[in-house]
């Protein structure tokens, strides 16, 4: 007898930090612009219409983030924006001042920053990676000490790169305080604000940073388009050559439709930020408090103040689950319809240890599972209830599998 197909569980999407669904305004802008002909660099009528849409989008993004339109540089995403900021700044600074070979960053940066920094170290840069406090938040004093250590060595810092908010544990970093100290010493300051743009109130002008990276698909826009906000007097060596587009900083034909979708998403995120932040804080706290109440030994990764987004992104729930494997827990959750992340570092789709948890000292804490639920525009109270029910059933199963495997409990 033919076996009847089994019903599939309904899906609950709680991985908005990886990518968030496009908002209607961005999808409409992308779709409308995708039907237009014309290269924005062409001089004929279609080209001028495409250029007008690009410049209108540039102005809208600048207005939403309190920047000047000339400070908006389009890239293929947050990774390219970070690479341009880190590699481009260092090349330009060391060309004008060969002694300025210092780079200061943190141990919990995204790999889009850490790997370019590693490249610079192989090329002779003096690198200082500052570890966070146990809360997952960097100390301003520790960053300043790293800057001063480089100065004592006679290799002053060319660049300080510090993420605005961590992509795994959601902690918000003291970027503005660090930037004020660094810029007073003539150091260029870059921030990876890929996770922060949208959830956090951001004024590029008031941030005191020189360079800020954003990615559209993290805030409801299309994939494949990002922005580097660069102050007008920023000196950068381009990473991509050929054509001199975008102030000569990023060559390549401009993706007009993606840019239009990006502008619509940025505007939408900023317009709804306050109300959406409050809504997500409520859901976040409900999920964290519910997970802690399951009596499964679950703890929270990173700083968390209930009712506040001052120290943690409003939609980030990072849970540490002792005595189980992260991947096992993730797959069990997925089998019951909960789409989340381990929060582990991944290279080309291959999961590995999280450098963020290592930086927090979790490497010596024994086998732990982690799950990162990240909430967004589509998240509801029903999603929280479903996630808690899934944790209650999946954590014991993950622990049983871990014990049977002969490596735990």
**Residues with catalytic annotation?**
346
Task: Give the pair of three-digit tokens for residue 101.
Answer: 């070979």
Task: Give the pair of three-digit tokens for residue 42.
Answer: 């062409």
Q: Which is it for strands 226-230 and 299-300: parallel, antiparallel or unpaired?
A: unpaired
Task: Give the pair of three-digit tokens for residue 290.
Answer: 């519910």
Closest CA to 377 of 302, 268, 286: 268
Q: Is there a contact between 28 and 34 (Cβ–Cβ < 8 Å)? A: no
- Per DSSP (E only), the strands in 174-330 are 188-192, 211-215, 226-230, 299-300, 316-322
Q: Which is it for strands 157-161 and 102-106: parallel, antiparallel or unpaired?
A: parallel
Q: Which is it for strands 226-230 and 72-75: parallel, antiparallel or unpaired?
A: antiparallel
Q: Alpha carbon 193 to chain centroid distance?
A: 6
Task: Give the pair of three-digit tokens for residue 192.
Answer: 């990876």
Q: Is there a contact between 62 and 119 (Cβ–Cβ < 8 Å)? A: no
Indicate the angle between helix axes 381-404 and 326-335, nearest 10 degrees.
130
How many whole angstroms separate alpha carbon 219 and alpha carbon 312?
17
Q: Which residues make Cβ contacts (< 8 Å) with residue 9, sequence separation at least 6?
A: 335, 336, 337
CA distances from 111 to 114, 167, 245, 248, 341 (A): 5, 11, 26, 25, 17
């Amino acid at each position: 007898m033919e076996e009847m197909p089994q019903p599939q569980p309904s899906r609950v999407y709680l991985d908005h930090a990886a990518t968030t669904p496009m908002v209607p305004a961005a999808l409409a802008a992308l779709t409308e612009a995708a039907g237009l002909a014309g290269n924005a660099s062409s001089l004929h009528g279609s080209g001028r219409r495409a250029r007008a849409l690009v410049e209108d989008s540039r102005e809208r993004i600048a207005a939403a983030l309190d920047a000047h339109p000339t400070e908006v540089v389009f890239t293929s995403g947050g990774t390219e924006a970070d690479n341009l900021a880190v590699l481009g700044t260092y090349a330009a600074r060391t060309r004008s001042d060969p002694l300025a070979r210092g780079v200061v960053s943190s141990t919990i940066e995204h790999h889009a920053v850490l790997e370019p920094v590693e490249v610079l170290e192989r090329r002779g840069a003096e690198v200082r990676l500052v570890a966070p406090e146990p809360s997952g938040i960097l100390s301003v004093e520790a960053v300043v000490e790293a800057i001063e250590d480089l100065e004592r060595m006679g290799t002053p810092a060319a660049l300080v790169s510090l993420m605005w908010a961590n992509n795994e544990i959601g902690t918000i970093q003291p970027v503005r305080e660090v930037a004020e100290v660094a810029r007073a010493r003539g150091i260029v300051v870059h921030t990876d604000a890929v996770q922060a743009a949208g959830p956090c109130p951001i004024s590029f002008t008031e941030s005191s940073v020189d360079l800020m990276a954003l990615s559209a698909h993290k805030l409801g826009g299309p994939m494949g388009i990002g922005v580097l906000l660069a102050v007008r007097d920023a000196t950068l060596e381009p990473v991509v050559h050929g054509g001199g587009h975008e102030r000569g900083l990023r060559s390549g034909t401009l993706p007009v439709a993606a840019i239009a979708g990006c502008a619509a998403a940025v505007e939408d995120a900023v317009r709804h930020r306050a109300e959406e932040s409050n809504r997500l804080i409520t859901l976040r706290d409900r999920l964290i408090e519910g997970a802690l109440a399951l009596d499964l030994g679950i703890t929270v990764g990173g700083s968390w103040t209930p009712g506040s987004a001052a120290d943690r992104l409003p939609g980030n729930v990072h849970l540490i689950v002792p005595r189980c494997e992260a991947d096992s827990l993730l797959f069990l959750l997925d089998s019951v319809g909960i789409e989340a992340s381990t929060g582990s570092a991944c290279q080309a789709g291959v999961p590995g240890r999280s450098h963020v948890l290592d930086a927090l000292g979790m490497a010596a804490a024994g086998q732990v599972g982690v799950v990162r639920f990240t909430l967004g525009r589509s998240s509801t109270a029903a999603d929280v209830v479903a996630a808690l029910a899934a944790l209650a059933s999946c954590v014991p199963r993950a622990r049983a599998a871990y014990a049977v495997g002969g490596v735990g409990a």
